Amino acid sequence: MGFVAAVVFAVCCWFSHGVAGQEEPIQTFVIPHSHMDVGWVYTIQESMHAYAANVYSSVTEELSKVKERRFIAVEQEFFRLWWDTVASDTQKKQVRQLIKEGRLEFIIGGQVMHDEAVTDLDDDILQMMEGHGFLYETFGVRPQFSWHVDPFGASATTPVLFALAGFNAHLISRIDYDLKDIMQKNKKLQFVWRGSPSLKSQQEIFTHTMDQFSYCTPSYLPFSNCSGFYWNGVALFPDPPKDGVYPNMSLPVTKETVHAYAKTMVENIKQRAAWFRTNHVLWPWGCDKQFYNSSVQFNNMDPLMKYINQNSKEFGVTVQYATLSEYFQTIYQSNLTWEVRGSEDFLPYSTEPYQAWTGFYASRNVLKGVARQASSRLYAAETLFTRYRISFPDGPVAKDWALDKLRALRWAVSEVQHHDGITGTESPKVADMYLQHLLQAMMGAEELLASPSILDIEQTLEQHVIVYNPLAWNITTIVNVTVTQPSAAVFDDDGQPVPAQIQGSAHSNATYDLFIVVELGGLQYRKYLIKFPENSKAYEAKAVSFERRSVKDRAKAGRLLLPVLSECYELLFDQDTNLLHSITYLEEKRRVMITQDFWEYDANGDVKAGPISDNYIFSANGSAVRAYKAVEMEIIPGKIVTEIRQYFYREESDKDYAYSITTRVPECFGTKLPCHRLEQTYSLGPLSLNTEVVLRTSTSVKNNRTLYSDDNGYQMMKRTYRKFTNNTLARNYFPMVRTAYIEDDLSRLVLVSDRAHGVSSQTDGQLEVMLHRRLWNNLQWNLGYNLTLNDSSVVRPTLWMMLGSVSATSKLYQREAVQLQHRPVVKEPKRGSPLRSVVLPPNLHLLSLSIPGWNYCSNHSVHLNLHSQPDYDRILLRIMHLFEEGEDPELSKPVTINLKEALQGMGEVKGVEERSLTGTWDIASLQRWKWKTADNLEKDNKQQRRQDDDFTVTISPKEIRTFFVHFVSRNF
C-alpha cells in the first residue's frame, strides 16, 4: 500500500549534499521490485488481469535479454497464479535459468507480505510455509531474506519467525516517523534484533530499516511533471492498454535528459548514504504495481546507469543492478560491529502527529473474526486428517480430495493475512472477496470433517453429535449445542448420563441453548447422544429479569448487590445500575472493584474540520462518552453455568438494545470445569456513523496506565503510557491479538480474545478494548479508492476474563488463549474407530500436526527429484513452549520429551528429523550468518538438534521446534 510513499514524494524536496571526504565512490545497489498487494483496492483476479501477470511475463523476458539485470519477487500468491495459469513452457524454462543464475530472487517467499500487528503466529507461519513449500518443490529454492516494507509497524515476533525459518537478514520500513528521524540522524537504521527475551541471541537477526523514502523510488523530478523513474507509468484498471502506453509515463532517457536524471538520482543516493554506516546504499527501484511493462523500465534505466558509471569519478557514485542477497552479502562482509535491539517492537506506527495507525487494530471486526475462525477450523481438520491417514492410509476418504480441501483453506487463510487484508484496510469488494474465499474453503473443510447426514432434529426424538478436541491436552469444558426442543437428556458413548443444562437462547426465540460438560483426551473425539424426552434430565434453567435502569440513577449505586458464585469467584452485580460491581477471587479472598460497559469515541468525518479517523487511522475528537442511557439485565442461574445477560440501550425508551454483554460463569459442581475463566460474548451494532466503540473495564487495580498486550500471540509486550504533544490518546493504543492484561502488586486482570482488537489503558485501573468502528470521511484519497469504513455490521466477538494474583494467572493465560482459539469442534458423527489420546505436557503446545503434501528432500545436496504426486507420508509436527524464561518457577523450565512415546497414541514412530520452521532446511545443516554485536556475546547461530537419541528432544522456553515424523505403515 503506497499511501505514505505517495505523500512523502509529493511533499519532499531534494537536498544536494555529498559525504565529506569520500574517498571511494558510494556503491549503490539498485534493486528492481514491484510491490503487489494481494488485495487492497482491487481483487486478486482484477490485479492479475490488469498488471500482475504482466509483471512476471515482461520481467522474465527482459532479464533474459541482458545478464546484468535483476529482479526480486516477493508475494507468492501472484507468482504461483502466474506460474500455474499464465506462464508458457518457454517462460518457465527462462525462469529456472534466471533463478539458477541468481538474477531472479525470491524474497520472504510467503504467500503474502503479512501484517505484523493483528495476525496470529499460527497464520504467519502457515502463509510462509505454503509459499516456501511451493518454491522448494518447484525450484529447490529456500528464501533467506525478508522485505517487510509495507506492514503498518513492526512486531518483535516477525524477526524471530524469520530467523527460525533460516533467514540471514530482515528488512522493515514503516516505523514511527519521529523514531525513524532519530535513527537516521544517528545512523542507527541497521541493528541486530533479538526479538525474543527468552531465545536471546539464539534467534537474533540483522535488521535493515528503510530510510524516510521507504520502499519506493523517489517520484519527484525537478525537470519534469512526470513521476520519477517510473517510465512505464501508472497501471490501468480494469484492462491493460493494448498499445502498451500507460498514463504518466516519464520522459525517456535520451542524450538531452540523461544528465538531469543522473543528477537527481545521484543526489538522492548521497542523501541516503549519509544515514547509514557503510559506503553501500540500497536503492529500491519500483513501487506499488510497477514493472508490468518492464521493457520500458529497463530500456531507460540501462543507459542511465551506464552514464553514471562512466562519470563515477565526477559523481562519486557507482550503480549496479542487484538482488537483496547481493546487498546484504556486502554489508555482512563489511565486518562491522552492530548495536543490539532487544525484544521491543515498533508498534504503534504513526506517520504524522495526527496520523496514528491504530484504528486498523479493530477495523472490520467480522473479517478478523472469520479469519481466525477459519484458521481454527483448519487446525482441527489438519490434525484429524493426519490422524486418519496414519491409522487408515488406504481408508475410504480420498487423499487427493482431502488435500485439495485443506490446501484451499490454507491458501484462503494465508491470503487474508496480507497487510491490507486482516487489517480491514481494504475496499469493501476486496473484503467481500476474502470472506467469500474463507467461507467457501471452510465449507470444504466441513465436508472433510463431515459425516453421513442424520434426520432433521425436529423429526426425531434424538440427535447424535461428535465433539473433537484438536489440542494435545486433556480438557474438560462446556460445549453449546443449539436445539429446537425445550427439554433434553444427554448420554455419552457408554450410555452414561452427562451433566447438561438447557435454557432459552439469547439470540432466538425459536431455539434453545444446550450446555454439555465434555471431557476429552488430546486429539480425541467422543460421541454424545441427545434425547428429547418430556421429562428432561438436563437442568432447565430459567431467567430472572431485572428492570431497565437509567444512568441518571447512578447516585443510588451500591445499595443492592446481587452475588453470583463459583468455586473461583464471587461476582457482585449492582441492581441499581445492572452493571458489574466487583469480583472477589476466592483463593486469596481479594476483592477488586470492576465495572464493564460501552463507550464511544466520536470521529471527525470532514477533512476541513481537522484530523480524521479511517480504516487505518484512529484520531478521536476527544475523550470517549458513555454509549448508552439505560441497562437491562437478566440472570439465568444454572447448575453447570450461570449466565448474566446485560443489554445496553442508546436511549431510555429504545425498543432494541445497541450493545450487550453475555457472561457465562461455570459452576464447577464437583467436576473439573475450569472455573477461573469468565466467558464473555458481546453484541455491537449497527453503530452510528463515525463512532468507534470500546468495551471499558474499570477496576481498582493500580496499573499506572501501563498494560501488557501480545505480539502475534507469541509474547507479551509491556506498554507504558506515554504523553505526546499531539494525539496522545490514539498513540497509546496497541494491538491485542490474543491477550492483554493490567496488573499491580496484588492482582492481575487478563483478557484473552478470539480475534484481534485495539487495546489501551487511558486512566489508572482501566483496560479498554476497541471492538467495532463505523466511519465515513470526505478525504479524496479514501473516496477515490473506496476506502471509507462504512461498516454497518453487527459483531459478536468473545473475550475470556481471568482475575487473580500475578503468579496464579501466569500459569493460566497462555493455555487459555490457545483453548479459546481452538475450542472443541462439534459435528455430526461419522464412521470410525475411537482415537487414542495424545497428550503433551501443560507448557508445550502442539502448534501444527499436518500433512503438508509438498515434496522436500532431506538431503538438499542431492538433486531434487520433482514428483508429480504429493507426499502423503511426511507428517509435519511443530511444538511450541508457551512460557517465557523465568515466568513461572515450574512451567518455565525446559521440557524433555520422547516423541515416540508422546505420539504412540497415533501410531508407531519410525523416524524423526528436525527441520527449520517451514520445513525446507535440515536443522543440522542450517548455518545462519553470525553478525558481530556490541555485547560480544558468545553465540552459535547454528541450531542444535539437542536430541539425546533418535526421539528425545528438549524444548526450552519460547522455542518453536519443527519435525518431520515418519510412522510405520499400517497398510494391510
Residues annotated as part of the active site = 150
- Structure letter (DSSP) for residue 493: T
Residue 586 neighbours by CB under 8 Å, 6+ apart? 567, 568, 569, 570
- For residues 193, 196, 200, 201, the Cα torsion angle rounded to the nearest 10 degrees is -40
Do 219 and 8 meet the contact criterion of CB atoms below 8 Å apart?
no
Q: How far apart are CA 284 and CA 90, in angstroms?
A: 29
What is the DSSP pairing of strand 544-550 with strand 630-636? antiparallel
Alpha-carbon separation of residue 722 from 528, 719, 727, 898 (angstroms):
53, 9, 11, 47
135: left (phi over 0), alpha (psi -120 to 50) or beta: alpha
316: left (phi over 0), alpha (psi -120 to 50) or beta: left
Residue labelled with grid coordinates 467481500 = 432
455: left (phi over 0), alpha (psi -120 to 50) or beta: beta
What is the DSSP pairing of strand 707-711 with strand 659-666? unpaired
Q: How far apart are CA 468 and CA 758, in angstroms?
A: 32
- Structure letter (DSSP) for residue 636: E
| Amino acid residing at 68 | E
CA-based angle 865:123:167, to the nearest 5?
A: 55
Q: How far apart are CA 121 and CA 878, in angstroms?
A: 12
| CA nearest to 347, candidates 190, 126, 115 | 115
List % helix, strand, coil for the chain (3-state, nearest 5): 25, 30, 45
| Amino acid residing at 247 | P
Strand (E) or helix (H) holding 56: helix 53-65
Residue 164 neighbours by CB under 8 Å, 6+ apart? 203, 916, 917, 960, 962
Grouping H, G, I as helix, E, B as strand and the rest as coil, residue 795 is strand
- Label residue 222 exposed, middle or buried (CB < 10 Å: 0-12, 13-18, 19+): exposed
| CA nearest to 139, candidates 174, 168, 112, 106 | 106
Q: How far apart are CA 453 and CA 448, in angstroms?
A: 13
- Give the count of beta carbons closer than 10 Å to the beta carbon of residue 869: 9
- Determine if the peptide bond prior to 452 is cis (ω within 30°): no
Do 45 and 15 meet the contact criterion of CB atoms below 8 Å apart?
no
Residue 698 neighbours by CB under 8 Å, 6+ apart? 594, 595, 596, 765, 766
Q: Label each residue of 884-953 as H, E or C.
A: CCCCCCCCCCCEEEEHHHHCCCCCCEEEEEEECCCCCCEHHHCECCCCCECCCCCCCCECCCCECCCCEE
Cα four-point dihedral sign 817, 364, 645, 377: negative
- Give the count of beta carbons closer than 10 Å to the beta carbon of residue 512: 19
- Label residue 807 exposed, middle or buried (CB < 10 Å: 0-12, 13-18, 19+): exposed
Alpha-carbon separation of residue 377 from 110, 123, 471, 481, 878 (angstroms):
21, 12, 12, 17, 17
